[in-house]
Structure 1
Amino acid sequence: MPMITDFNKPFTDPDTLAAPVVTIGATVVTGEIELDFHRHRKAQLILLMRGVLTCELAGGLWIVPPRCAIWIPGGVTHSVRAAGSLEGYNAFIEPAVAPNLPANCCTISVTPLLRELMIRSASFPLVYPEGGPESHLVTLLLDEVAAASVGELHLPMPADSRLRKIAGMMMDNPRDHGTMEIWARRAGMSERTLARMIVQQTGMTFGRWRQQLDIMLALRWLADGATVQQVAIDLGYENAGSFVTMFRKALGTSPGRYMAERQGLVSAPPRA
């Protein structure tokens, strides 16, 4: 069983609280957390300081590396998985006070200000007075979330059972870089049907979708401490250089630089 330490609040169903924003911080020292599909009326912002988290919704899979956050609108059914040491913050937000926040689930880049606002608001009582300093800080937090840049750490998941079978096989054996013809034959469809359906259901070509899966897995393993060389091997790349080239084209920087920014070891480029 994981050991969970709540920073300063007992667990309370956020939907029962009158406060427009309730932030809770917690650490998971060891073990695995798995929350099955559920939903709540309030929207949720999950910020990770340490560890890696996976969130699944109907139609998509998101990964949240350190110092990134995921936004889940209110009423959206989702599941959450995380393993190992974890430190993070949850802000539950009344939809009525957040009309300018994203309508769909997304990952967002966390600025130093947003990080500090989440940390500070986690020290508030579950119910705080309206119009006081807590309310002013919460308003600033919402403004900062609205201004945050949206990330690309999303893997669209197809609804068709044959395509989901392919997705499962790829996740089970990411070293297998078979051609689209091979994957189509394994799923019992023609290559032409696979090409058409994957675009219809994910908005990506087969090759782009497969590359996005590699990015998702790479970020999870890098956050767990794997080396770039090991990730390249586990993803079936001929060498680390070819993996780094793919990663740089997809995310605009090298794997080492990307993870160093999220671990606070180097400064991220300023927002445009």
Structure 2
Amino acid sequence: MQRPVFGRQDFDYKPSVPVVALRVDVQAREHEIPIHQHESGQLVIALRGAVTCDVPGALWMVPPQAGVWIPGGTPHSNRSTANAVLFFLFIAPGAAALPARCCTLRLSPMLSEMIQYLAGLPPTYEPGSATDRLAHVLLDQLCTMPAEELFLPMPQDARLRRISQAITLDPSDRRTLSDWAHELATSERTLNRLCTAQTGLSFGRWRRQLHMIVALRELSGGATVQQVAYDLGYESPSAFITMFKKAFGKPPATYISDRLRVEN
């Protein structure tokens, strides 16, 4: 079943069956679903392009053919790259032994194909039917998928949230912590202490990690290394490549191609 846009009714989707898959084709611009929550657990999947999921305390990254698991009742918002192809897997409470906290699950090619196939079937089905049997095999497989930690811890302090929101909207914003302290009428030391206490990272490390999350999203969506480097405010693509390699152990082009090769 294909849905080209997200309707308000999907924000509180309550399947009457163990699992329902919905497909969403994003238009030729970035798309953001505002903060919402639903009783069912949700797996957010990017078949093409990428998604970031903002949940309390963290910003999660969904690379191609991986999924972010969001337990039922968790407030969250999703932002996808232009022209992304997404799947939303709604899982009824108690239908599968999935984690009680958010995590990224790497999907096998077989599981990805099963999810895509389920999305093309009617959203309701009878117990014991072929679709029901497929749904239970899908859930069994999903519970075996390895977890990844592609997320950025987000601060809760109002002042730091203001900074994080500004940088998230404009990653090229290069204002220093001293600049922010002056703007927020506080001290640089206070902001850095709060950032370390609430995220486990200094402000400089936190901003670099944010850049890497954004970079993965944009590269997975088809942006070039040069474009991403300049969008993040790096002076040159080589400086960005160096930082990316420090974070992920590989240059960006190699990292993305290797991941796609494994998943396809």
Shorter-chain-normalised TM-score: which range?
0.7 to 0.9
Query: Which residue is 2:51 aligned to?
Result: 53
The reply on whether 1:267 has 2:262 as its aligned counterpart is: yes
The 8 Å contact of residues 43 and 94 in structure 1, kept in 2 or not, is answered as yes
> 1:182/1:159 Cα in 2 relative to 1: closer, same or farther (>3 Å)?
same
TM-score (norm 1): 0.82
1:213 to 210, 213, 218: 210
Whole-Å Cα distance in 1 between the matches of residues 243 and 64 of structure 2?
Answer: 21
Whole-Å Cα distance in 2 between the matches of residues 77 and 176 of structure 1?
Answer: 27
Range 188-197 or range 89-98, more displaced: 188-197
Gaps of 5+ in 1: none
Whole-Å Cα distance in 2 between the matches of residues 16 and 182 of structure 1?
Answer: 46
The 8 Å contact of residues 165 and 187 in structure 1, kept in 2 or not, is answered as no
> 1:145/1:246 Cα in 2 relative to 1: closer, same or farther (>3 Å)?
farther
Query: Which residue is 1:36 aligned to?
Result: 34
After the TM superposition, which residues 69-88 of structure 1 pair with which residues of structure 2 at under 5 Å, given as runs? 69-88=67-86
Query: Which residue is 1:248 aligned to?
Result: 245
The reply on whether 1:19 has 2:14 as its aligned counterpart is: no
Whole-Å Cα distance in 2 between the matches of residues 126 and 12 of structure 1?
Answer: 14
Q: Deviations over 1:156-192 (max 9, x none)?
A: 2212121122223433553454554444344332232
The 8 Å contact of residues 2 and 22 in structure 2, kept in 1 or not, is answered as no
Gaps of 5+ in 2: none
TM-score (norm 2): 0.84
The reply on whether 1:200 has 2:194 as its aligned counterpart is: no
Percentage identity across paired residues of the two chains: 42
| 1:118 CA displacement | 0.7
> 1:43/1:222 Cα in 2 relative to 1: closer, same or farther (>3 Å)?
same
Query: Which residue is 2:234 aligned to?
Result: 237
> 1:133/1:11 Cα in 2 relative to 1: closer, same or farther (>3 Å)?
farther
Whole-Å Cα distance in 2 between the matches of residues 237 and 31 of structure 1?
Answer: 23
Whole-Å Cα distance in 1 between the matches of residues 91 and 241 of structure 2?
Answer: 38
Whole-Å Cα distance in 1 between the matches of residues 62 and 229 of structure 2?
Answer: 20
The RMSD of aligned alpha carbons is 2.9
Q: How many residues align?
A: 261
Whole-Å Cα distance in 2 between the matches of residues 224 and 174 of structure 1?
Answer: 16
One-letter code aligned to 1:107: T
One-letter code aligned to 1:155: L
Query: Which residue is 1:130 aligned to?
Result: 127
Whole-Å Cα distance in 2 between the matches of residues 116 and 71 of structure 1?
Answer: 18
The 8 Å contact of residues 15 and 92 in structure 2, kept in 1 or not, is answered as no
